[in-house]
Amino acid sequence: MAKGERGTTTRGTTTRGRTAASRRSGSTAGRPDPELIQLLTPEGDRIESVTGPDGVEYRVDFTDAEYREIYRDLVVVRKLDAEATALQRQGELGLWASLLGQEAAQVGSGRALRPQDMAFPTYREHGVLYCRGIDPIMPLGLFRGVDQGGWDPNEYKFNMYTIVIGAQTLHATGYAMGVTMDGKTGGDDSEAVIAYFGDGASSQGDVNEAFVWASVFNAPLVFFCQNNQYAISQPLERQTRIPLYQRASGFGFPGIRVDGNDVLASYAVTRAALDNARHGQGPTLIEAYTYRMGAHTTSDDPTRYRIASEVEAWQAKDPITRVRAFLERQKIADADFFAEVDEAARREAVHLRERVLSMPDPQPLSLFDHVYPGGSPELDEQRAEFGRYLESFEGSAH
Amino acid sequence: MATETLSMGKALNTGLRRALDDDPKVIIMGEDVGKLGGVFRITDGLQKDFGGDRVIDTPLAESGIIGTAVGLAIRGYRPVCEIQFDGFVYPAYDQIVSQVAKMHYRSRGKLALPIVIRIPFGGGIGAVEHHSESPEAYFAHTSGLKVVSCSSPQDAYTMIRQSIASDDPIVFLEPKRRYWEKGPVDTEADYPLHASRVVRPGTDATVLAYGPMVRTALDAATAAAEDGRELEVIDLRTLSPLDLAPVFDSVRRTGRCVVVHEAPSNVGLGAELAARITEKCFYSLEAPVLRVTGFDTPYPASRVEEDYLPDLDRVLDAVDRTFGW
Ligand SMILES: Cc1ncc(C[n+]2csc(CCOP(=O)(O)OP(=O)(O)O)c2C)c(N)n1
């Protein structure tokens, strides 16, 4: 990392108005960390390559077209997210968990996945979902309440959203063990697995068990923790007294902290960790250091637990404006391009809105579907009985 | 027909071995299941013959055992997880009820999790606390799980193979105090997994039991016969979903029913059975359905477990009461 970048990228990001000195001794949670991997500064300056504390050199070698595409992803993902938030406000969704502020972490890591890699998300990974080629309408079904997420996890190599915090990290570990057992590690076209979770989730037993298992079985797995500084209202200091990425060493694998608002660094670090995994070098913990700009979900009131100046400080590190500044400065994109991207994003959002409004409610009897792959005579009876009950209403459509 | 005499433990071992042989996707995982063969030796010799990738000694982490089994199942494997003892399944409870049970439903059928969770359960072996519990109601209450329990070496052998072959997630409860009891096993026998069975026909009262209590119920029926009462004993075998047709049939004939289980009575399986029988057989009943169960206490110290556990006398006492109505 270039000298001088460190201060600007990390100062004031974590102490949340309290000085480090006011902490009890030994507490390093959230302390500005000089080992943040960054390839694009908040001002839009490009850092050619960075050698991490692990001795690995991180870089990206994007073509101009690729830079433009990754910018497009960021803008579209933010726009779709904003549209979903609006839809919730208008009563069309029961709830929405916005990714605002976390676009770079998600698009960077999502684009680093190869087609054969499998992802295990939480409930906020709409950006990764988008990168996997899944129709962005899919998670809205879950939040609207018409289904529980409609995509095929195996087809898209993107598992179902997981609401129970941390549970999916074990699923990812098991899946990764299966990759090894299938002999699909060790080559360039081998498979790797990525598990997403939050800073709050890092306190869960399952996440810690997943660390143990992945380490012991040398699973081809990347743990991707989006540290957005809060678990609903609880700040990072409630989860840990050491920087999260440092946890990995206690489990016997490398941990690295990346600027989660830097899409290039997120991409580079994830790509390297996935490639390590696929080549049989076991798990990595990536801590993507980022910030949740909005509410935890639409039911949350962040003004109760955080101050405006903190949000402003992070706004200065916005993941999208820095890419745009870079593209403009390097003349990789012009005003026409930015206008075209905005327009394309707007069209996608309109399209999303139209389709959400016409999402039909499921048929009542469908609630009995797919409880057991092998079926259940008892449940069949309940379904039949409920069907008869529904039919007893005059003019029933069922 | 290939019939051998095996203990229930050995029958399970043989069934597991056969499942490993039949399908390369079957894997066994759990604490100490490898070299040691499990604390009850149910997996004895399997790692030696199938290797450490098929019979996996895991870290001591129950949520990890079940949670990674979910991922392995998504990957196409058929994990058979051993939980060392009933009282240690609780750290995995979330993974079982929130993930294993629901993923097929949540994915609208796109994912199936063919996972078997083997749990040695119940008391009667003089163990220390947390080693004698009957957690079946927790799991039977959860839609998406199937819960079964074997009571004989034959069922142990056949049901474990059927459970592994099934695409449903199955909690497989092994009555640990019966591991050493021997019986004939026809290794080619085939019959439905999800079916209760009349194990002793009778005309005077119906006794419902499963797992460890089937033996107790049969002993009670033998004793009752000496007093001139013919008890019909039904082994439920499948606790969720229940197979109640043979039960209704029996109760309509006998007019009397006693349910026996080791688990506490409060909100236990006996309550469900009593309710269902009352709904369907109300006009045939000569007496209310009675329950003989463990008490609504934590499982007690082993020196008093014989007082806690339903035994032949308590079953006979309940039978007497149904006749005294
Ligand atoms: C096991 C569990 N406990 C509590 C909750 C309720 N809950 C939902 S999200 C959340 C905070 C999660 O924070 P974090 O892991 O940092 O992820 P973030 O939402 O910030 O991305 C909580 C407590 C839950 N979903 N699961």
What confidence tens digit (pLDDT) does each residue in A351-393 have?
A: 999 999 999 999 999 999 999 999 999 999 999 999 999 999 9
Give the model's pLDDT for residue A340. 98
pLDDT reading at A306 higher than 60: yes
Start-to-end C-alpha separation, chain A: 64
Does an H or E element contain A255, and which? strand A255-259
Chain B closest-CA separation from residue A231 CA (Å): 20
B99 and A CB contact within 8 Å: yes
Q: How far is CA B207 from CA A98, A111, B254, in A?
A: 57, 62, 10
| DSSP per position, B168-222 | S-EEEEEEGGGTT-EEEEETT----SS--EEEE--SSEEEEE-THHHHHHHHHHH
Give the model's pLDDT for residue A148. 86
- Please give the residue of chain A at the shortest CA–CA distance from B59: A213
pLDDT reading at A4 higher than 90: no
Which residue type, as a one-letter code, is found at position B113?
Answer: L
pLDDT tens digits along A130-187 = 999 999 999 999 999 998 888 999 999 999 999 999 999 999 999 999 999 999 999 9
For residue A370, indicate whether it is catalytic. no
What band does A8 get if pLDDT is binned at 50, 70 and 90? very low
Q: Which of A165, A170, A230, A298 to mutate to test the pocket of ligand 1 (most atoms within 8 A of CB)?
A: A165
What band does A53 get if pLDDT is binned at 50, 70 and 90? confident
Give the model's pLDDT for residue A16. 33
What band does A396 get if pLDDT is binned at 50, 70 and 90? low
Mean pLDDT of A262-270: 98
The mean pLDDT value of chain A amounts to 91
Give the model's pLDDT for residue A397. 59
> B-chain residues within 8 Å CB-CB of A195?
none
- Which stretches of chain B score pLDDT less than 50? none
Domains of chain B: 4-185 (3.40.50.970), 197-324 (3.40.50.920)
A212 lines ligand 1 (CB under 6 A): no
Give me the CATH code for the A49-358 domain, please.
3.40.50.970
The reply to whether omega before B241 is within 30° of 0 (cis) is: yes
Cβ contacts of A309 within 8 Å, gap of 6 or more: A17
Q: Which residue has the higher pLDDT, A18 or B120?
A: B120
Structure tokens at A63: 């073509």
Q: Which residues of A touch B (CB under 8 A)?
A: 120, 147-150, 152-154, 159-160, 164, 167, 169-179, 181-182, 205-206, 209-210, 212-213, 216, 369-374, 376-379
Q: How far is CA A229 from CA A196, A199, A290, in A?
A: 15, 7, 7
Does the distance separating the beta carbons of A373 and B67 come in below 8 Å? Answer: no
The mean pLDDT value of chain B amounts to 97
Q: How far apart are CA B323 and CA B325, in angstroms?
A: 5
Mean pLDDT of A232-255: 97
* ipTM given for this complex: 0.93
Chain B closest-CA separation from residue A108 CA (Å): 24
Give the model's pLDDT for residue A119. 98
B 103-122 residues with CB < 8 A to A: 103-112, 114
Interface A-B: count of C-beta contacts within 8 A:
140
Give the model's pLDDT for residue A204. 98
Cβ contacts of A151 within 8 Å, gap of 6 or more: A129, A134, A135, A138, A158, A160
DSSP A118: E
For residue A305, indicate whether it is catalytic. yes
Phi, psi (deg, nearest 5) at residue A95: -160, 155
pLDDT tens digits along B122-148 = 999 999 999 999 999 999 999 999 999
Between A149, A181, A209, which is nearest B53 by CB? A181
Structure tokens at B157: 């052998």
- Atom 4 of ligand 1, nearest CA residue: A165
Rounded to two decimals, the pTM is: 0.92
Share of chain A above pLDDT 90, in %: 88
Give the model's pLDDT for residue A398. 54
CA A6 to chain centroid: 24
To test the contact with chain B by mutation, choose from A146, A371, A380, A385 the residue with the greatest count of B C-beta atoms within 10 A, namely: A371
Atom in ligand 1 nearest the alpha carbon of residue B94: 1
